[in-house]
Structure 1
Amino acid sequence: MAPTEGANASSTSNTTPNDLKSPGTPPAAETPKTLPPPETKESLRLRQWVIASFWAVVLCLGLPMWWKTTAIYRADLPLQHMTDWAEGKICKPVFPLRIAVEAPFQLPDAHNLIRTTQHALDDLNEFSAHHLRLILADIPVARNASQQMVTDGMGISSNDRDIALLLRLIPVETGTTPRSMLQTYATRLDIYYAAHQIPSSSSTGSPLATFIAEELHSIFAEEQALLAYQLSTNVGALTPKMKAPSPEKVAELERQSTRALKYAPTYHLTFSLFSPTSVPSAWEIESALQQYLAPLLESFSFISNFTVDTQVQLYAGFSPSIRQPEYDDNLKAWTLRREDLSGFINAAEWPLSPSIGVGPTVNFVLYVPDQLQSPLLIKENGGNSWLVPQWGGVLILNPPTSGKNTPTVLTKDALAPAMHAFSDQLMSLLGFPQTPNSLPLRLATLERVRAASLLFSASSTLGALARLTKALPSIPIPDTVAKSVDLTIAHLQQSCDSLRDGRFQGALEHARTAEVEAEKAFFERSMVGQVYFPDEHKVAVYLPLLGPVAVPLVMSLLKEIKSVVR
């Protein structure tokens, strides 16, 4: 039977050209793939030279330039020496005070009195770093009015700057003996004695020597406590032979230190007159400062410098955060509560900027209340002045009563009580010691305490800089820092040597210079800026630049190495 038409069509459509060939014809050969010609040795060598040249440029030119342009310069610092200063291993401060003794009797008896008094002093002293040394002084004898004093060659001059105290023995025939009198405005202690109280050259002790030793120990007791406190708060400064102050004394000294301002070479004093009304509108502050405060500031000049300005602010109301004054029938006055004194200063409206001047600003506020609220006192103690720790002082000057109006101008005499109060407040803010009752001796004590505190502060700053340098190897150390560190160490050593020799003014000057140089080194601008640019930021900057360049170079190098290995 014949196939259908559809079947024939399907059979015809599936026929290939090979099927149409005769059975005896062989199949045609496939066309071979075209391969590139083999690389010549010259082209291989050229490609290797190109890759090598790129790597040579990177290694010999790029990396050195990158290393040179991005390297952090770090000047050499004596890190271990700086750490030793901070730990108190190099300088053990001592304070030998020389006391000149003027004894108007025979030389053997004078030497014996000094020897027995020195033994009594050593027995009383429990702080070996602060040592009182008695030295026989020359007794000046005037030739005439036109010539200076001459000495008889017995000892040292009693007007030597390094003499801490002059002790004068004065014979008397009446009154209780022995007795003493410390001069208020001179570094002199007068001891009055009877003739029979002079110890003989063969005696080993006497009531006069014991009395003198106890008086000297009492005069310098607070200074010893202050210096012991300074040494006890610094690592390595207090040796086992030095007795630390008692806990009660430490608590008292801590209260004084928190009240006082931090040391500064320059302080700026601002005296402000505030009134809630239009009077007083003027005050004779310049003449009052010249008469009452200038001598005190002049005596402080070897420790710190001072700048002064004044201002008057009228219609200065109370701060809204405190309660208004209340009338007290017992005191017959308007009163402020003690808890409101901290908010008495109206910082929002009163122009008391803390950044005026070169150094820290010390504010002294004289407030004259309204006649309707006068007199204005503190309720708890009836006083009219108070100290604001580490800020300044306030005094309320009540206008005259008995029907008189508030004066429009405060005269120099009217400002005298305020100036005396401000002087006392300034001394407290500067860390002025409270004893003895001699202004020059208290200034000398402050000089020695400041020298010790600045020495410890500069040493601590050196230690902090050494720790910072070790902890952050990425920060730069410019040559200016190294120079400041060298100057700091040199002045610290000179300050320590001056303390050991009893030259306290020189010790303070060197310690001040060391403190300035140490702060200058620690707060170098280039170092501080680099602290806030860590290594993670550097990686984030370099990766987008180096990635596209490094990948082709590395892959081509690996390919060439693989071809050579084969």
Structure 2
Amino acid sequence: MSPKADTDASPSSNSNTADGITSGKVIDAVTVKKEPPPESKEAIWTRRLVILSFWAVVILIGLPVWWKTTAIYRADLPLQVMTDWADGKTCRPVFPLRIAVEAPALPSQDAQHLLRTTQHALDDLNEFSAHHLRLLLAESSTTVNTSQDILPITNYKDTGLHGSTNDEDIALSIRLIPGESGTTPRSELQPYSPTLEVYYTPNQIPPSSSTSSPLATFIANELQKVFAEEQATLAYLLSTSSTAHNSKIKSLSPETAASLERQSTRAFKYAPTYHLTFSLFTPSATPSAWEVESALHEYVSPLLESLFSISNFTVDTQVQLYATFSPSIRQPEYDPERKAWTLRKEDLSGFINAAEWPLSPSIGVGPTVNFVLYVPDQNQSPLLVKENGGNSWLIPQWGGVLILNPSTQLNAGIPTALSKDALRPAMLTFSNQLFSLLGLPQSPASLPLRLSTLKRVRAASLLFSASSTLGALARLTKALPSISIPDTVAKSVDQTIVHLHQACNELREGRFHSALEHARVAEAEAEKAFFERSMVGQVYFPDEHKVAVYLPLLGPVAVPLLMAALKELKNLSRSRKKGSA
């Protein structure tokens, strides 16, 4: 039994041994990875040089070319100078007004002493240091120094009144006239001449030993009244600008400040050219014609000629028949007490039918000032404003409207054509409305004085506006470092600064017409620099847009280069670790 068991056991043992050997070989073949042949040093360096060459091309050629071709050009701007102008640190505007005194009936010594006494009284009354009046004798072209003797203009430098004096540099002429009848002293301001006539008696001339005089006080008070609104306007302009902290500002009452604010919001912004459009509208077929050219030549052209030193004007006329009311307002209501048709005051702002009436605001070079003459239908005539019974009103920064009611005579009817005489009230009303829309002051009664006041106010406002624009451009340049600044902007900024300096100097010298010309150029150049087309486009191109543009282009190229560089760095680190072990 025993040998058989051994015999049976032997084959089984051999089979297990063979199976174990076979399974072991299979396991070794599976678990042992087949290693690639070792890489030669030449191949390793070749691969590294290829990767390095790609990176060298990207860094040494690609990046400089990309930087050069995509760099934003920024011309150098005098940012600090621009900021100083905006903050009012560069120019302190002053308005020295020359007042020429004509005293042919007085001896030279008496005239000089009267001027010196009057100058002292003026300085005592003046509360606004930036606006001061300086008296000079018309015969000898001398000016008054309150602390010294009368000196020639060529030597008077304390207030900047040196150099030759032209007629246009004289703000006002005072004509001293001896008068035997009537109350004296008294004054009369000429309506169409910058002349103030002062009547006096010989006994009112102050003796050389006196330091004050009722006549000198009277003249000083009259001068203060003449230039009171100008002083208030300039004080308001300075108080609303950034230069207020550099000047002693005259305090204004709340009523005066509110009135000046209404005037500023009603008037157009200054422009070198305005386009005037005179329109005739009627809801029927008549009137179909009007003698507007002769009426404009007779009543409006002289006023426009007086304004040419401040702005230019172009004129256009038109006639529109069957012009209906705007549907947004209520129809006129009949008032039996007035026996007239009335419009409510709240409907006046919507009286203009902008949807159907051809009133384009883009006609001409500058802003369009519209003047509408409306002739109502005979069935709704006369047509008045219910609250005040008027027939005209002003639309701020747009124009004026006047309702021309036909004759109220029985069976007179509406004329088929409006004559020059019939248009006279309308043209005079439009002239007053134009003055209000241009910001012409309401006083004094002399038109040349009001025009010279407007010239000084416009010069100051343009100077402040150009300075403010420079400051805004400087802040924009600092806030957006990616914005482009072409050379044209730098050139315009330089021109603005040059003309601002000249305008400020001309103001100090009292040459206001020249100051207005320089301030006008400075304002135009500042606006040109700030609204440069190529620069404005960069404002609306943020960095997020650049990422959206570059990422799809550079992503597929950058990923292989980065992965290859990282893999090579890992291999280099692994080889260094093996070498150290």
Shift of 1:540: 1.3
Q: 2-side partners of 1:278 and 1:451: how far apart?
A: 47
Q: Report the equivalent of 2:134.
A: 133
Q: 1-side partners of 2:94 and 2:250: how far apart?
A: 14
Task: Give 3-state SS (helix, strand or coil) of 1:349's partner.
Answer: coil
Q: Report the equivalent of 2:97.
A: 97
Q: Report the equivalent of 1:225.
A: 232
Q: 2-side partners of 1:438 and 1:549: how far apart?
A: 79
Moved more, 87-96 or 158-167: 158-167
User: What's the CA shift string for 1:187-243, capped at 9, x where partnerless?
Assistant: 111111111111122221111101100110100000000000000001233446332
Could you tell me which amino acid in structure 1 is paired with residue 94 of structure 2? V
Q: Report the equivalent of 1:550.
A: 558
Q: Report the equivalent of 1:161.
A: 168
Judging changes above 3 Å, is the alpha-carbon distance between structure 1 residues 18 and 466 closer, same or farther for their aligned structure 2 residues?
same
Q: Report the equivalent of 1:526.
A: 534
Q: Report the equivalent of 1:73.
A: 73
Could you tell me which amino acid in structure 1 is paired with residue 40 of structure 2? T
Task: Give 3-state SS (helix, strand or coil) of 2:422's partner.
Answer: coil
Q: 2-side partners of 1:27 and 1:421: how far apart?
A: 118
Shift of 1:544: 1.6
Task: Give 3-state SS (helix, strand or coil) of 1:414's partner.
Answer: helix
Shift of 1:173: 1.8
Shift of 1:435: 0.3
Judging changes above 3 Å, is the alpha-carbon distance between structure 1 residues 71 and 17 closer, same or farther for their aligned structure 2 residues?
same
Judging changes above 3 Å, is the alpha-carbon distance between structure 1 residues 137 and 283 closer, same or farther for their aligned structure 2 residues?
same
Taking the TM superposition and a 5 Å limit, the aligned residue runs for 1:371-410 are 371-402=378-409, 403-410=411-418
Shift of 1:420: 0.1
Q: 1-side partners of 2:20 and 2:256: how far apart?
A: 125
Q: Report the equivalent of 1:271.
A: 278
Taking the TM superposition and a 5 Å limit, the aligned residue runs for 1:245-264 are 245-264=252-271
Shift of 1:158: 8.1
Q: 1-side partners of 2:440 and 2:496: how far apart?
A: 27
Instruction: Pick from 194, 199, 205 the counterpart of residue 206 of structure 2.
Output: 199
TM-score relative to the length of structure 2 = 0.89
Is the Cα–Cα contact under 8 Å of residues 136 and 154 in structure 1 kept in the other structure? no
Q: 2-side partners of 1:531 and 1:39: how far apart?
A: 56
Q: Report the equivalent of 2:40.
A: 40
Q: 1-side partners of 2:138 and 2:20: how far apart?
A: 145
Q: 2-side partners of 1:444 and 1:350: how far apart?
A: 37
Q: 2-side partners of 1:159 and 1:88: how far apart?
A: 30
Uncovered stretches (5+) of structure 2, i.e. residues with no partner: 2-10, 142-150, 155-163, 577-581
Task: Give 3-state SS (helix, strand or coil) of 1:440's partner.
Answer: helix
Shift of 1:184: 0.9
Judging changes above 3 Å, is the alpha-carbon distance between structure 1 residues 201 and 53 closer, same or farther for their aligned structure 2 residues?
same
Q: Report the equivalent of 2:313.
A: 306
Q: 2-side partners of 1:161 and 1:20: how far apart?
A: 125
Could you tell me which amino acid in structure 2 is paired with residue 486 of structure 1? D
Is the counterpart of residue 284 in structure 1 residue 291 in structure 2? yes
Shift of 1:34: 5.3
Is the Cα–Cα contact under 8 Å of residues 138 and 154 in structure 1 kept in the other structure? no
Judging changes above 3 Å, is the alpha-carbon distance between structure 1 residues 559 and 211 closer, same or farther for their aligned structure 2 residues?
same
Q: Report the equivalent of 1:351.
A: 358
Q: 2-side partners of 1:164 and 1:15: how far apart?
A: 134
Judging changes above 3 Å, is the alpha-carbon distance between structure 1 residues 426 and 97 closer, same or farther for their aligned structure 2 residues?
same
Q: Report the equivalent of 1:124.
A: 125
Shift of 1:268: 1.1
Q: 1-side partners of 2:353 and 2:346: how far apart?
A: 15
Is the Cα–Cα contact under 8 Å of residues 92 and 247 in structure 2 kept in the other structure? no
Q: 2-side partners of 1:495 and 1:154: how far apart?
A: 25
Q: Report the equivalent of 2:58.
A: 58
Q: 2-side partners of 1:250 and 1:19: how far apart?
A: 114
Q: 1-side partners of 2:153 and 2:557: how far apart?
A: 85
Q: 1-side partners of 2:570 and 2:271: how far apart?
A: 71
Task: Give 3-state SS (helix, strand or coil) of 2:420's partner.
Answer: coil
Is the Cα–Cα contact under 8 Å of residues 279 and 314 in structure 1 kept in the other structure? yes
Shift of 1:159: 5.9
Judging changes above 3 Å, is the alpha-carbon distance between structure 1 residues 240 and 271 closer, same or farther for their aligned structure 2 residues?
closer
Judging changes above 3 Å, is the alpha-carbon distance between structure 1 residues 33 and 469 closer, same or farther for their aligned structure 2 residues?
closer
Q: Report the equivalent of 1:143.
A: none
Q: 2-side partners of 1:66 and 1:20: how far apart?
A: 68
Shift of 1:541: 1.3
Could you tell me which amino acid in structure 2 is paired with residue 442 of structure 1? R
Instruction: Pick from 511, 515, 518 the counterpart of residue 519 of structure 2.
Output: 511
Q: 2-side partners of 1:548 and 1:16: how far apart?
A: 59
Q: 1-side partners of 2:198 and 2:450: how far apart?
A: 20
Instruction: Pick from 297, 303, 321 the counterpart of residue 296 of structure 1.
Output: 303
Task: Give 3-state SS (helix, strand or coil) of 2:421's partner.
Answer: coil
Is the Cα–Cα contact under 8 Å of residues 265 and 359 in structure 1 kept in the other structure? yes
Q: 2-side partners of 1:92 and 1:331: how far apart?
A: 56
Moved more, 433-442 or 230-239: 230-239
Q: 2-side partners of 1:494 and 1:118: how far apart?
A: 29
Is the counterpart of residue 440 in structure 1 residue 448 in structure 2? yes
Is the Cα–Cα contact under 8 Å of residues 319 and 345 in structure 1 kept in the other structure? yes
Instruction: Pick from 451, 460, 470 the counterpart of residue 468 of structure 2.
Output: 460
Q: Report the equivalent of 2:373.
A: 366
Q: Report the equivalent of 2:6.
A: none
Q: Report the equivalent of 2:436.
A: 428
User: What's the CA shift string for 1:323-347, capped at 9, x where partnerless?
Assistant: 2222222212222121221121111
Is the Cα–Cα contact under 8 Å of residues 232 and 244 in structure 1 kept in the other structure? no
Uncovered stretches (5+) of structure 1, i.e. residues with no partner: 2-10, 141-152
Shift of 1:28: 11
Is the Cα–Cα contact under 8 Å of residues 239 and 249 in structure 2 kept in the other structure? no
Is the counterpart of residue 213 in structure 1 residue 214 in structure 2? no
Judging changes above 3 Å, is the alpha-carbon distance between structure 1 residues 19 and 332 closer, same or farther for their aligned structure 2 residues?
closer
Shift of 1:29: 12
